[in-house]
Amino acid sequence: MKELVATVKQVENIAENVWALTVTLPESAGEIKGGQFLNISTGDGSRLLKRPFGIVKAEGNDVTVCFQVKGEGTVALSQAKKGDKLAVLLPLGNGFVIPESAKNVVVIGGGVGIFPLVPVICGNKDKKFYSYIGFRNKNCACLLDEFGKSEKLTVVTDDGSLGKKNNAVNAYFEDIDNVSADLIIACGPPVMLRALKQKMQEKGVKTPCLVSLEERMGCGIGACLVCVCKKSDGSNARVCKDGPVFDINEVQL
Amino acid sequence: MANLSVEICGVKLKNPVIAASGTFGFGREFDEIYDISCIGGVSTKGLTNASRLGNPVPRIAEGHGVILNAVGLQNPGVKHFIENDLDFLKNKGVAVIANVAGSTLEDYGTICSTLDGLVDMVELNISCPNVRAGGMALGIKPENIEEVTALSKSNLKKTPLMVKLSPNVESIATNAKAAERGGADCISLVNTFTGMVIDLEKRRPVIANNTGGVSGAGIKPIALKMVYEAAHAVKIPVVGMGGIMSGKDALEFMMAGAKAVQVGTANFADALAMPKIINEMNGWLDRHGIKNVNEIVDTLQLN
Ligand SMILES: Cc1cc2nc3c(=O)[nH]c(=O)nc-3n(C[C@H](O)[C@H](O)[C@H](O)COP(=O)(O)OP(=O)(O)OC[C@H]3O[C@@H](n4cnc5c(N)ncnc54)[C@H](O)[C@@H]3O)c2cc1C
Ligand SMILES: Cc1cc2nc3c(=O)[nH]c(=O)nc-3n(C[C@H](O)[C@H](O)[C@H](O)COP(=O)(O)O)c2cc1C
Ligand code: FES
């Protein structure tokens, strides 16, 4: 974990309201695992909190995140200029730990939840990925080249403008008999993860499943207890430090 | 290099920069980023007799120059702290200040006697809602402050007592005097200001608890005035905080009368905030030919 001042290398609009931001770190931040995230300042001292984003790509000292414009902070980041200095804290969280034994991995992602999944697919060449990715519409679709590295890619949209009109969870369950997965990994809005958990219970799917959660953060490193989620036993876990990746049965969604 | 060491009611700190309660946990996480033995002290996450799960999420929101939090005193309980975290902090060579809270008056007595002799200082958080005060914080009315201070002090035979004042009060000077009368060895201020942040589209407050405590850069001018007032109302030492983001901010608090400072929200904006603040203080003192940081305390000249 390092607090560094990074230099903006590129800011690129990759889909409607979605931007890819690449920054160059002054030194290596150490090993970065798929599903880990970073906290980045928005460049304006009046916004005291850094924003958390999944790390999509790490190459040398260049790190890329992709983000949807939501509020003031992401507006500012989308307007960052090459050469701007932004403070970053990284790498954060546990990331997706894919067991050696898992050979066939189902990937389910919705909306901005697809980003932390990209490095898992790109970084585990010995595994086969079966990806089910949902977007609002075709203008929101992005990173299809990266997801295209999957053994099989199913893209769906809320309005049917790209792929079938469906959501990512249903798309997987409609296809479930065609894939024998040893692991499911998922990231997306809370409604998507709840639907996934419910469907798995309904259909008696026992495949191990890892989900990546989001929560508003303070420190990002586990010190302030701002970002907690509820574990199944009623205790709290810190999304930033104990997560953001949890076993789906370990947390209340 | 100026001499930065300070002494507050018998406790020696290698420099006057202390991590503020609730923003630094028990120090372990920040120690993964830098060796925290370079800071003067750590005020722990607010401890209670029994463990607490805290409030529902979201627990944090943001405004211009400020943040708002309502963590609700999530903590593993004082015994867990003593068994699992105290030695780590002690081995780091930082002054260990146990920040404590209770929901009844008696809670404060119990937790103080549990910690007596084990930590360098006990800091009373009297800003949380309290049964005794009818759900209001004990830190609002001077008579309540004096009572909880006296009870806590009577349970601390070895460890000095710091009382942390709430800024959400009628007169900070009156409350500082009440803590002094109750037997406080020193006071710290400010705790957070009560506030609200609204999500206009959802027509709801952002945080689950609706209201929360405001901290960060934006509260500094208000905190500075309160620290000045408190420091001039009492004879016991004062530790100042509220929106300190830089070495200059820290020196301003000391100039206003604080013997040491605490740094909270700045740790979120920049995980290296405290070592940077210490360096900046050093740089400023060197540039001004000041050999000892204590020389700056209470040197403010009014217009
Ligand atoms: C571990 C993690 C990974 C994430 N990865 C991505 C990603 O790869 N791409 C992406 O587009 N988004 C991601 N998000 C969500 C992203 O952090 C928020 O959309 C962003 O912080 C919004 O900032 P803002 O200033 O535009 O919004 P505002 O609403 O103005 O932000 C106000 C405050 O709320 C916080 N906040 C608002 N929404 C969220 C949220 N959903 N989660 C956490 N904090 C929030 C902000 O960080 C800020 O502190 C991730 C969140 C987490 C926790
Ligand atoms: C997330 C968070 C948690 C806090 N928890 C506590 C606490 O447990 N006990 C306490 O006395 N103060 C707590 N505080 C208040 C701080 O210690 C400090 O008084 C306040 O934030 C003002 O300083 P700052 O502007 O430097 O943050 C908390 C503040 C924050 C931001
Ligand atoms: S954000 Fe501070 S503990 Fe997670």
Is residue B204 in a domain?
no
- Tell me: cis bond preceding A52? Omega within 30 of 0 counts: no
pLDDT of residue B142: 96
Q: Whose CA is nearest to atom 9 of ligand 2?
A: B46
Nearest to B258 by CA among B209, B300, B201: B300
Cβ proximity of B212 and B195 under 8 Å: yes
Same-domain check for residues A194 and A113: yes
> How far A84 CA sits from the closest chain B CA (Å)?
17
> How far B32 CA sits from the closest chain A CA (Å)?
7
Examine the pLDDT at A152 and tell me if it is beyond 70.
Answer: yes
Same-domain check for residues A183 and A228: no
Instruction: State yes or no: is B112 an active-site residue.
Output: no
* Positive or negative torsion for Cα A52, A57, A63, A64: negative
CB contact under 8 Å between A225 and B54, yes or no, is yes
Cβ proximity of A226 and A218 under 8 Å: yes
Average confidence (pLDDT) over B76-91: 98
Amino acid B219 reads I
CA count, 13 A, side-chain hemisphere, B67: 26
- Tell me: cis bond preceding B56? Omega within 30 of 0 counts: no
> How far B16 CA sits from the closest chain A CA (Å)?
21
Ligand 2 and B166: CB distance under 6 A: no
Residue B85: CATH number of its domain: 3.20.20.70
Neighbours of A198 (CB within 10 A): 12
Tens-digit pLDDT profile for residues A3-35: 999 999 999 999 999 999 999 999 999 999 999
Report the distance separating Cα A163 and Cα A157, nearest Å.
6
Average confidence (pLDDT) over B14-25: 98
Tell me which ligand sits closest to the C-alpha of residue B162: 2
Test site for ligand 1: of A53, A217, A242, most ligand atoms within 8 A of the Cβ: A53
Report the distance separating Cα A66 and Cα A55, nearest Å.
8
Tens-digit pLDDT profile for residues A177-199: 999 999 999 999 999 999 999 99
Is residue B209 in a domain?
no
Tens-digit pLDDT profile for residues B55-79: 999 999 999 999 999 999 999 999 9
pLDDT of residue B283: 98
Tens-digit pLDDT profile for residues A208-251: 999 999 999 999 999 999 999 999 999 999 999 999 999 999 99
Longest pairwise C-alpha distance within chain A: 52
Is residue B286 in a domain?
yes
Same-domain check for residues A229 and A188: no
Element housing A13 (H / E): strand A2-15
Is residue B59 in a domain?
no
pTM equals 0.97
pLDDT of residue B256: 98
Report the distance separating Cα A198 and Cα A201, nearest Å.
5
pLDDT of residue B127: 86
Two tokens, residue B148: 């909880």
pLDDT of residue B131: 62
Is residue B198 in a domain?
no
Is residue B93 in a domain?
yes
Cβ proximity of A225 and A199 under 8 Å: no
Query: What residues flank ligand 3, with Cβ below 6 Å?
Result: A 217-220, 222-227, 238, 240-241
Residue A225: CATH number of its domain: 2.10.240.10
Percent with pLDDT over 90 in chain B: 95
In sequence order, the β-bridge partners of residue B163 are B124, B187
Q: How confident is the model at residue B134 (pLDDT cuts 50, 70, 90)?
A: low
DSSP per residue over B95-119, as a string? EEEEEE--SSHHHHHHHHHHHTTTS
Average confidence (pLDDT) over B215-222: 98
- How would you class A209 by CB atoms within 10 Å of its CB: exposed for 0-12, middle for 13-18, buried for 19 or more? buried
ipTM value, please give it: 0.95
Query: What is the edge-to-edge ordering of all strands in the sheet holding B193-195?
Result: B60-63, B66-69, B212-215, B193-195
- Chain A residues with CB-CB distance to B64 below 8 A: 46-47
CB contact under 8 Å between A3 and B29, yes or no, is no
The residue in chain A having the minimum alpha-carbon distance to the alpha carbon of residue B268 is A219
Domain of B232, in residue numbers: 6-54+73-192+215-296
Q: DSSP label at B191?
A: -
Is residue A208 in a domain?
no
Domain of A245, in residue numbers: 213-253
Among B101-105, B153-157, B214-218, which is the least confidently predicted range? B101-105
pLDDT of residue A112: 85
Amino acid A25 reads L
Q: How many domains does chain B have?
A: 1
